[in-house]
Chains A and B, each alone.
Chain A
Amino acid sequence: MKLTHTICPSCSVGCGINLITQKQEAVGTYPYKRYPINEGKSCKKGRECYGMITEEKRLLNPHIKKTSLVGSNWDESLNLAVSKIKSYEPEEIGIIGSGNCTNEECEILKKFATSLGAENIGYPAGNFPNFDFETGNLNDVENSQFILITGNVLKEYPLIGRKIILAKENGAEIITIDYPQKTTTGMISDQYIQTESIRQFLDDEAEKIQTKLNESSLILVSKLDNKEELEEFHQMAAKSNSKIIPIMKECNSRGAMNILPPLSEDELKTMINGMNLLYIVGDDLASQLGETLKKVDFLITQSTTLNQTALLSDVVFPSACWVEKTGSFTNITGNTQKVQQILPPPGEAMDDATIIMKIAEKMEIDL
């Protein structure tokens, strides 16, 4: 039995956890109380994140589609993928990364796309746009006297939720905006603005809230209906010298955003509809865009598991989980944290960067 420090890959907060391994297998997690972000506290997803490594559907070797998806080897699958990529014009090729990829993987994927001349590249970012304004840090949450929240932060990002609780215990006023259904965050708030849409709040009530904001306030944006709305919250913060933290979903959403263009669901749909070959690294797009993906001529996927996207693919490369590789994740407050390899990837799986380089090598692209 061995305990090793790592960063939780379950969301964008970047908590520290101890991974327990036994005979080179992940068997559990243990509180990491020395870690400043979460001080040994983790949510359920965090404590159970080792399940991603031991998941039953882990891919152990490459697969290619014959009549159905069948096991293959690296040579055959790489040759097929490369011959297909070569057969399309760069304008017909779409490349999609993920907020779950490390910064280094996003960089290499971008380099690959640039070398190929493929301009259709991005990663699924939900309703969050690219932004370059300065964001607050987690101590700012705890030290604020007024916090405006969109979404159910307590439940979805509990370790930021904790900072809201600490601020509340210090006397901070909390206002939450969310859809009409009751939420834990709403219930602990001094005021719970239940609205049909974020737009409706911005149009009808933002002005009134603006008068409460000052330099000891903070805005936590975890829910948006539309990417333009973030700028309006940013304006509210800028006008009042308040701090702001947009809370995106994946462990490296903020890092990916600095390297690849963030794409909303609609933008992804539009992009994919124009493509004949799609190369997806690290995201299970089929869960939201299954029908759209089915229209693509040729689909290449890198995935840790045999998920919905892998099942739709023509070539699937088995990839490594976060503790099976080395790299870095940038959390919501812009803190870049290293992750070290603790375990070898299972079977013939490889880390995403190596797979991208293998494809590049076969295409005689120098990365």
Chain B
Amino acid sequence: MDSNYLLARAKDEDLLKKGECGGAVSSIFQYLLDSNLVDGVLNLSHGEDIYDGVPTLIEDSKDLVQTCGSLHCAPTMFGDLIRKYLQDMNLAVAVKPCDAMAIKELEKRHQIDSDKIYKVGLNCGGTVLPITALKMIELFYEVDPDDVVKEEIDKGKFIIELADGSHKSIEIDELEEKGYGRRVNCQRCELMIPRNADIACGNWGAEPGWTFIEIVTEKGREIVENAHKNGYLEVKTPPEKLVNIREKIEGVMIKMARKFQDKYLEEEYPSLENWDEYWNRCIECYACRDVCPLCYCRECDLEREYYSDSGETAPDPLTFQGVRLSHMSFSCVNCGQCEDVCPMEIPVARIYHRMQKKYREQTGFIAGMSEELPPLFSPEKE
């Protein structure tokens, strides 16, 4: 296994059948659990249907089958779950690029112990909010969302599979022009292959029934090699043609993401009047702060007496969003959770993502990717 690129699939028949792209990711988890290298695996499982992704901790490899298959309508975040509840565990976790970015920032700040965690990265072209998916499938596909057994994003299309095995697909561009499709944060995201994890897995450049794996770290190489050696994983070297295809797909998607960054962060960036209107809606519920994987201070400045308002009207944006901006925007990984959970529909992530981009231009610091802490980072908050 000299190359950093390989194709892999499960040896276990059940995982081979039920896992996505031959179940390589599930097999690696199976190996890690069976050999007691980890106490648990954090991944997603279906809740009530394919639009309901529920973070699930698996502690017995027999249960891994629950987490087989990918879900594109589950914009979850694992960073804070690990920090708050799973710190004591040796853990393997399936990470989207934004999860990996959040985890990386938390590792640098000693909130997650990097020695205790294996990050199995999943390539991601973006996620769709579940309720948006339901509406979109009814409206554009003219299908009852309950009849959909599987969904996927491939070759620029959102594809649904029905119980009778038939497929329907629509160009994502077309859906997004009409305000559906992927979350706007995902549209802007330029990290599709999580090279900030230990390995990055996906179907780009893979043969059908196989997973394309890029090995990123030594730890990543070890787990893939040992899963193979111990009979969990079948591997082969991908032909160069496939490596190039994968690279090409990534390139196209990054280009698209940059166009969306220009659109949302410059051309259609809210005016000052718009922001005034947005801030007036704020009910000071702290949802944006509480969901932010990077906000972990035990004593939050926002709750200091000298910043507190009457409570009946919106807080002063300078001492609320402004304080958040100065505390975390340089580290914003554009996961979009703050916008997802804001009850007042304030597009908060736009201001933070825009600021991180400017910070990156000035300092070279890329949140979620750079190995060092951001310049001017104040360790006091820990």
Q: Within 8 Å CB of A249, what residues of B?
A: none
- B372 interfacial contact with A, CB 8 Å: no
B85 touches A40 (CB 8 A): no
The count of A-to-B residue pairs whose CB atoms sit within 8 angstroms is: 107
B47 touches A5 (CB 8 A): yes
- B290 interfacial contact with A, CB 8 Å: yes
Q: How far is the CA of A248 from the CA of B342 in the complex (A)?
A: 23
The interface stretch among A23-31, A55-63, A234-242, A258-266 is: A23-31
Q: Within 8 Å CB of A182, what residues of B?
A: 312-313
B290 touches A166 (CB 8 A): no
Closest CB-CB distance, B37 to chain A, in whole Å?
A: 19
Q: How far is the CA of A121 from the CA of B311 in the complex (A)?
A: 36
Nearest A-chain residue to B315, judged by Cβ: A184
Q: With A30-B81, A34-B48 known to touch, is A41 a contact of B314 (CB < 8 Å)?
A: no
Q: Which of A342-363 contact B (CB under 8 A)?
A: none
B130 touches A33 (CB 8 A): yes
- B209 interfacial contact with A, CB 8 Å: no
A166 touches B283 (CB 8 A): no
Q: Which of B314-354 contact A (CB under 8 A)?
A: 314, 337, 340-345
B312 touches A22 (CB 8 A): no
The interface stretch among B28-36, B52-60, B98-106, B234-242 is: B52-60
Q: How far is the CA of A161 from the CA of B313 in the complex (A)?
A: 14
Q: How far is the CA of A182 from the CA of B313 in the complex (A)?
A: 7
A-facing mask of B256-282, CB < 8 A → 1, else 0?
A: 000000000000000000000100111
Q: Which of B284-325 contact A (CB under 8 A)?
A: 285-287, 290-291, 311-314
- B243 interfacial contact with A, CB 8 Å: no
Q: Which of A151-174 contact B (CB under 8 A)?
A: 152, 154-155, 158-159, 161-162, 165-166, 169
B52 touches A161 (CB 8 A): no
Contact of B285 among A28, A43, A187 (CB under 8 A): A43
- B84 interfacial contact with A, CB 8 Å: yes
Q: How far is the CA of A19 from the CA of B192 in the complex (A)?
A: 30
- B129 interfacial contact with A, CB 8 Å: yes
Q: How far is the CA of A184 from the CA of B312 in the complex (A)?
A: 6
Q: How far is the CA of A238 from the CA of B195 in the complex (A)?
A: 61
B314 touches A34 (CB 8 A): no
Closest CB-CB distance, A45 to chain B, in whole Å?
A: 9
Q: With A27-B85, A183-B313, A184-B281 known to touch, is A41 a contact of B341 (CB < 8 Å)?
A: yes
- A20 interfacial contact with B, CB 8 Å: yes
Q: Within 8 Å CB of A155, what residues of B?
A: 283, 311-312
Q: How far is the CA of A158 from the CA of B342 in the complex (A)?
A: 10
Q: Within 8 Å CB of B341, what residues of A?
A: 31, 40-42
Q: Within 8 Å CB of B1, what residues of A?
A: none
Q: How far is the CA of A34 from the CA of B51 in the complex (A)?
A: 6
Q: Within 8 Å CB of B280, what residues of A?
A: 184, 187-188
B283 touches A33 (CB 8 A): no
Q: With A22-B85, A165-B281 known to touch, is A41 a contact of B340 (CB < 8 Å)?
A: yes
Q: Within 8 Å CB of A152, what residues of B?
A: 312
A184 touches B283 (CB 8 A): yes
- A86 interfacial contact with B, CB 8 Å: no
- B97 interfacial contact with A, CB 8 Å: no
- B69 interfacial contact with A, CB 8 Å: no
Q: How far is the CA of A47 from the CA of B86 in the complex (A)?
A: 20
Contact of B343 among A30, A36, A159, A183 (CB under 8 A): A159
A154 touches B287 (CB 8 A): no
- B131 interfacial contact with A, CB 8 Å: yes
Q: How far is the CA of A155 from the CA of B311 in the complex (A)?
A: 9
Closest CB-CB distance, A28 to chain B, in whole Å?
A: 7
Size of the chain A interface, CB-CB below 8 angstroms? 38
A36 touches B131 (CB 8 A): yes
Q: How far is the CA of A22 from the CA of B291 in the complex (A)?
A: 19
Q: How far is the CA of A187 from the CA of B291 in the complex (A)?
A: 26
Q: With A152-B312, A182-B313, A187-B314 known to touch, is A42 a contact of B343 (CB < 8 Å)?
A: yes
A34 touches B345 (CB 8 A): no
Nearest A-chain residue to B49, judged by Cβ: A34
Q: Which of A1-40 contact B (CB under 8 A)?
A: 1-3, 5, 18, 20, 22, 27-28, 30-31, 33-34, 36, 38-40
Q: Within 8 Å CB of A38, what residues of B?
A: 343
- A66 interfacial contact with B, CB 8 Å: no
Q: Within 8 Å CB of A181, what residues of B?
A: 312
Q: With A40-B341, A182-B313, A184-B312 known to touch, is A158 a contact of B285 (CB < 8 Å)?
A: yes
A33 touches B344 (CB 8 A): no
Closest CB-CB distance, B315 to chain A, in whole Å?
A: 10
Q: With A43-B285, A184-B283 known to touch, is A18 a contact of B130 (CB < 8 Å)?
A: no
- A44 interfacial contact with B, CB 8 Å: yes
- B75 interfacial contact with A, CB 8 Å: yes
Q: Which of A120-166 contact B (CB under 8 A)?
A: 152, 154-155, 158-159, 161-162, 165-166
B56 touches A47 (CB 8 A): no
Closest CB-CB distance, A147 to chain B, in whole Å?
A: 15
Q: How far is the CA of A31 from the CA of B84 in the complex (A)?
A: 15
Q: With A28-B84, A30-B55 known to touch, is A47 a contact of B287 (CB < 8 Å)?
A: yes
The listed residue with most A CB atoms (<10 A of its CB), out of B51, B85, B277, B286, is B85
Q: Within 8 Å CB of A154, what residues of B?
A: 281, 283, 344
Q: Within 8 Å CB of B53, what residues of A?
A: 34
A42 touches B287 (CB 8 A): yes
Q: How far is the CA of A165 from the CA of B291 in the complex (A)?
A: 21
Q: With A18-B54, A39-B131 known to touch, is A166 a contact of B345 (CB < 8 Å)?
A: yes
Contact of B313 among A30, A34, A169, A184 (CB under 8 A): A184
Closest CB-CB distance, B79 to chain A, in whole Å?
A: 12
Q: Within 8 Å CB of B343, what residues of A?
A: 38, 41-43, 158-159, 161-162
- Nearest 6 A-B pairs (CB), nearest first? A34-B52, A158-B343, A34-B130, A44-B285, A41-B343, A1-B85
**What are 23 A-to-B residue pairs whose CB atoms are below 8 Å?**
A1-B57, A1-B85, A2-B57, A3-B56, A27-B84, A30-B81, A33-B131, A34-B47, A36-B131, A39-B130, A39-B131, A40-B129, A40-B340, A43-B283, A43-B287, A44-B287, A155-B311, A158-B283, A158-B343, A161-B343, A166-B345, A184-B312, A187-B280
The residues of B with any CB-CB pair to A shorter than 8 Å are: 47-49, 51-57, 74-75, 81, 84-86, 129-131, 134, 277, 280-283, 285-287, 290-291, 311-314, 337, 340-345
The residues of A with any CB-CB pair to B shorter than 8 Å are: 1-3, 5, 18, 20, 22, 27-28, 30-31, 33-34, 36, 38-44, 47, 152, 154-155, 158-159, 161-162, 165-166, 169, 181-184, 187-188
Given pairs A42-B287, A47-B290, 7 additional interface contacts (CB within 8 A) = A20-B81, A28-B84, A34-B51, A34-B52, A38-B343, A184-B282, A188-B277
